[in-house]
Structure 1
Amino acid sequence: MITIRVPATSANLGPGFDSMGVALQLYLTLEIHEKTATWVVDHDSGAAIPHDDTHFIVQAALQLAPDLSPHRLVVRSDIPLARGLGSSSSALLAGYAMANELANLALSRDELLALATRIEGHPDNVAPALFGGAVVAYYDGKHVFHAPLRLPKTHHFITYIPNTQLLTAAARAALPEQLPFKTSVAASAISNTLIAALQSDDFETAKYLIEADQFHETARQHLVPHLKQVRTIAHELGLIGTYLSGAGPTIISVVPKQAAHHLQQALATAKLPGKILDLVPDNTGLTIEKEDRIYESF
């Protein structure tokens, strides 16, 4: 049996629109079992998700290896669908990694990143899912440039996941087609300074910049009414650093470890509809286990 595990991801981190992301300790796990006459996909994701070769993971694998022999697969995922935690990216990478293994394609992680980015359109989810930790990346239409981003080791990601989905297409449709030049310059400066602050272990500066996005949060806030509420609750505790995860509707607050439980309690007291999780970054990224041994075949 081969087991592929891919972490969830949170993109943007506020002003890092389409370029910044972090892997978190929620996982999609794909088990590859024996060969079968036709593809069989065992999962618990609901009746709307197929169990045959039309499953997204199988389709992703067949993109890379059209002649791939069918297998029995078991898919388990803690990553909720359409919530801004990279569920589609994790499934895409699981399919690509399966094809890479079974067809002996010998693709490197950088090659898989380039292939996945072409499908996703931007690398903010697939890069951290592959490499782990936080990653800043840029896709110029041909190449993906990426670099690791330092995050404070003492901070947790308090994650509020609403019960309702928000499809990426709807969130994208809310964005303006253009930004004024001065706004673009300011938004870029905020993002650049956030990266510099994080790389310098200056979270006192970074936490304010996380909440200063001018690229997407203002345009999407009507789709995510709880963003203002969660931010207000955090501020009342003296905690700054709340942002809209990816396209939403998940909302994340980056807070010191000692304050994580207090924020969780405050959000629970507010009785927001959904789940509240205390997460930390996954620093490993996509892993493959074969014959009880975890390894990198890239």
Structure 2
Amino acid sequence: MFISVPATSANLGPGFDTLGLAIDLRNEIVIKPARFHSVSTKGEGADNPKIKKNSLFLHIFHEQYRKLTDGKRATFRFEFTNRIPISRGLGSSSAVIVSAITAAHLAAGVKYNKRKILNTALRYEHHPDNITPAVMGGFNVACLEGERVYSKKRRLPSYLRAVLVVPDRTISTNRSRNVLPKMYTKEEVVYSLSRAAYMTALFMSESWDLLRIAAKDKIHQERRMRMMPELFEVQKTALDHGALMSTLSGSGSTFFNLAYADDAKKLAAVLAERFPQFRIMTHGLDNVGVIGKS
């Protein structure tokens, strides 16, 4: 069995817990029936004992496998190739959740569709902005109603690139949520709501040159960026050198920059020169989402 799942960038500025897109940077898992349980990990996190065990993946996989097989137990060999930076706001946890659920269906021989995978993933991650593009690929607008995710997808063109600035340290999701206020002014809410709606319209109509206006918000981004002040300079540098939009990816610490393919190489070079302590990555965008093959 083979499972592949893309990285994601969520929020995209004003689309707090609602907007997200998939990036062609993939984690892969190969699973084989075996007499004894074993795990091997290559790539991101391979030298971290906690990550190396892939405990979250194995917990979800076995829980879902038992549900799908009426309590049956089996042993497998799991081979992980991790390419998504961990705890950097690129959906590494959502990738684990989505891939584990998909893998459990494959191992159990149970048919599935992506909507089922998405709604199952909601049990483990109650914010749909990362899990939705991880499952569906493309740009997604998502909302929750009861225990279901309702979403719309737009395919992304091949002439766009994601230029990622990955800092050398993390911003924890819990800490980044704790810096947000309990209450907002009406003006702050309207400011961000209007731009989230506008951004959705721009993605759906492919009006890329207006994204820098739509990508502003007053809900979360600046408050979180203050925990790593150099990110303000990352954003300014990106917008001054060809980025169509520049936003904190998820809760950080990665910064997501969208650019035309012709501008991406120059933008990446400028960012690498200006911020040598950070990792600069350039990738296409993904329209496929999770892949599972028996």
TM-score, scaled to structure 1:
0.90
Superposed counterparts of 1:118-133, under 5 Å: 118-133=123-138
Aligned residue for 2:78, secondary structure, equals strand
Query: How far did residue 238 of structure 1 move?
Result: 5.1
Aligned residue for 1:124, secondary structure, equals helix
Provide structure 2 residue ranges, at least 5 long, that are not aligned to the other structure: 67-71
Provide structure 1 residue ranges, at least 5 long, that are not aligned to the other structure: 291-298
Deviations 1:97-125 (A, max 9, x none): 11111123333211111111231111111
* One-letter amino acid of the structure 1 residue matched with residue 63 of structure 2: Q
Residues 241 and 253 in structure 1, CA contact (< 8 A), matched pair in contact too: yes
Superposed counterparts of 1:278-289, under 5 Å: 278-289=282-293
Aligned residue for 1:10, secondary structure, equals strand
Residues 227 and 243 in structure 1, CA contact (< 8 A), matched pair in contact too: no
Deviations 1:116-166 (A, max 9, x none): 123111111111111111111111332210001354542211101111122
Separation in 2 of the partners of 1:51 and 1:209? 39
Superposed counterparts of 1:1-298, under 5 Å: 2-37=1-36, 39-44=37-42, 45-49=46-50, 55-66=55-66, 67-210=72-215, 212-237=216-241, 239-290=243-294
Separation in 1 of the partners of 2:293 and 2:112? 17
Separation in 1 of the partners of 2:62 and 2:9? 27
Separation in 1 of the partners of 2:203 and 2:57? 35
Deviations 1:43-98 (A, max 9, x none): 1322422666x722110112212334110110011011100000011111111111
Aligned residue for 1:164, secondary structure, equals coil
Residues 40 and 51 in structure 1, CA contact (< 8 A), matched pair in contact too: no
Separation in 1 of the partners of 2:157 and 2:61? 36
Q: Identify if the C-alpha distance between structure 1 residues 216 and 34 changes in structure 2 by more than 3 Å, giving closer, same or farther.
A: same
TM-score, scaled to structure 2:
0.91
Residues 242 and 267 in structure 2, CA contact (< 8 A), matched pair in contact too: no
Separation in 1 of the partners of 2:194 and 2:188? 10
Query: How far did residue 14 of structure 1 move?
Result: 1.2
Residues 23 and 281 in structure 1, CA contact (< 8 A), matched pair in contact too: yes
Moved more, 167-176 or 236-245: 236-245
Separation in 2 of the partners of 1:137 and 1:106? 24
Q: Identify if the C-alpha distance between structure 1 residues 50 and 90 changes in structure 2 by more than 3 Å, giving closer, same or farther.
A: closer
* Greater helix content: 2
Aligned residue for 1:7, secondary structure, equals strand
Aligned residue for 1:115, secondary structure, equals helix
Residues 86 and 92 in structure 2, CA contact (< 8 A), matched pair in contact too: yes
Q: Percent identity?
A: 28
Q: Identify if the C-alpha distance between structure 1 residues 133 and 238 changes in structure 2 by more than 3 Å, giving closer, same or farther.
A: closer
Q: Identify if the C-alpha distance between structure 1 residues 238 and 30 changes in structure 2 by more than 3 Å, giving closer, same or farther.
A: closer
Query: How far did residue 167 of structure 1 move?
Result: 1.6
